[in-house]
């Protein structure tokens, strides 16, 4: 089986441009924003652009696409207006994915900003239930990302993710993404074989490995358990290289797409270097 590898890719000039970029860089997987990630709303996707995106994708080697939602969305916002806005924006993100045929919308669960973790988790699940209700018959899966747990961000414990899924009615529409930088900053070690297997075993026991549909492959500028989210190139930073070797050679995870969110310039040439490092770790 072949690894599906790629990186977060720029959609500058239109979503179909991302497919061109990914193809040129030799990616077999990619992540995109379907709109400006620092804005609440954007004008609807153009029909022509949707068609172009789909046909380019079909004729490319990119076999997996995931969308990342806007950073502004907080599905457990304490403020009523902000919560309403977040819920509407989330439905809009799901809709854009569905139109583009993108099977996963990756998102950070939310920040409880003082209301408490359990209350926050309940509101997140409620937000997801509302969104699923409004998008019945959609194929796109809501993909919860493990977070570093910065500030009051939820999702830095496997138990948080499991609790949200438990409270979501349509569990078939739920999936999970492990971001290696977040996982590490959250306090889950995977740098040795022993710690790696312990962490993945916990994930399987608490969430279930069948829910894992994507990896964000990022080094970490911050220490284990720091709860600070700072991405670093693969092999640099506090995770080092062994942790990535463990992931790349785990037979159970070969079919799970692995996507970089490491620092990069406009041409994304750094992505090529990081992917080379990942590929070099695969034992032959």
69 binds Zn ion (CB under 5 A): no
Binding-site string for Zn ion from residue 114 to residue 153, where x marks contact by CB under 5 A and - marks none: ----------------------------------------
Between 106 and 127, name the residue whose CB sits nearer to Zn ion. Answer: 106
How many residues at the interface with Zn ion, by CB under 5 A?
4
**Alpha carbon distance 188, 195 (integer Å):** 8
Question: What is the contact mask toward Zn ion in residues 240 to 279, using x (rule: CB under 5 A)?
Answer: ---------------------x------------------
Candidate segments 29-37, 69-77, 175-183, 236-244, binder of Zn ion by CB under 5 A:
175-183
Contact 161, 209 (CB under 8 A): no
* Listed residue (25, 33, 26) closest to 8, CA to CA: 33
Q: How far is the CB of 122 from Zn ion (least distance, A)?
A: 24
**Element at 220 (helix H, strand E):** strand 219-220
Residues 6 or more apart from 229 whose CB is under 8 A from it?
147, 148, 150, 181, 182, 185, 222
Q: Is 21 in the site for Zn ion (CB under 5 A)?
A: no
The two tokens of residue 160 are 């948080």
Burial of 116 (0-12, 13-18, 19+ CB in 10 A): exposed
Tell me whether strands 153-154 and 110-111 are parallel, antiparallel or unpaired. Answer: antiparallel
CB of 112 to Zn ion, least distance (A): 18
Q: Specify the stretch interacting with Zn ion by CB under 5 A; choose among 47-55, 107-115, 173-181, 183-191.
A: 173-181
Cα(74)–Cα(127) distance, integer angstroms: 10
Closest CA to 37 of 80, 83, 77, 96: 96
Q: How far is the CB of 51 from Zn ion (least distance, A)?
A: 29
Phi, psi of 75, rounded to the nearest 5 degrees: -75, 0
Segment contacting Zn ion (CB under 5 A): 117-125, 149-157, 159-167, 223-231? 223-231
Chosen residue from 69, 92, 179, 271 binding Zn ion by CB under 5 A: 179
Q: Which of 69, 92, 93, 229 binds Zn ion (CB under 5 A)?
A: 229
Given 216, 221, 245, 264, the residue binding Zn ion (CB under 5 A): 216
Q: Which stretch binds Zn ion (CB under 5 A): 40-48, 89-97, 107-115, 212-220?
A: 212-220
Structure tokens at 237: 């930073």
Binding site for Zn ion (CB under 5 A): 179, 216, 229, 261
């Amino acid at each position: 089986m072949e690894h599906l590898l790629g990186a977060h890719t720029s959609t500058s000039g239109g979503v179909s441009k991302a497919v061109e970029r990914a193809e040129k860089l030799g990616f077999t997987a990619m992540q995109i924003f379907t709109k400006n990630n620092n804005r609440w709303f954007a004008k609807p996707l153009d029909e022509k652009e949707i068609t172009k995106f789909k046909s380019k994708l079909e004729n490319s080697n990119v076999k997996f696409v995931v969308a990342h939602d806007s950073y502004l969305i907080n599905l457990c916002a304490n403020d009523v207006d902000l919560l309403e806005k977040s819920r509407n924006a989330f439905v809009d993100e799901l809709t854009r994915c569905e139109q583009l045929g993108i099977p996963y919308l990756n998102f950070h669960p939310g920040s409880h900003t003082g209301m408490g973790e359990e209350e926050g988790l309940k509101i997140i699940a409620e937000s997801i239930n509302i969104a699923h209700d409004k998008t019945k018959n959609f194929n796109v899966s809501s993909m919860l990302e493990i977070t570093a747990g910065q500030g009051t961000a939820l999702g830095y414990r496997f138990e948080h993710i499991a609790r949200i899924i438990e409270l979501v009615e349509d569990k078939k529409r739920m999936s999970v993404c492990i971001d290696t930088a977040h996982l590490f900053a959250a306090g889950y070690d995977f740098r040795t074989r022993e710690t790696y297997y312990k962490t993945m075993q916990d994930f399987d026991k608490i969430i279930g490995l069948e829910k894992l549909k994507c990896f964000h492959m990022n080094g970490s500028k911050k220490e284990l358990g720091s709860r600070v989210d700072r991405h670093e190139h693969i092999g640099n930073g506090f995770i080092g290289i062994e942790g990535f070797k463990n992931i790349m050679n785990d037979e159970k995870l070969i079919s799970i797409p692995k996507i970089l969110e490491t620092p990069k310039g406009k041409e994304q040439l750094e992505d090529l270097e990081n992917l080379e490092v990942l590929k070099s770790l695969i034992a032959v």
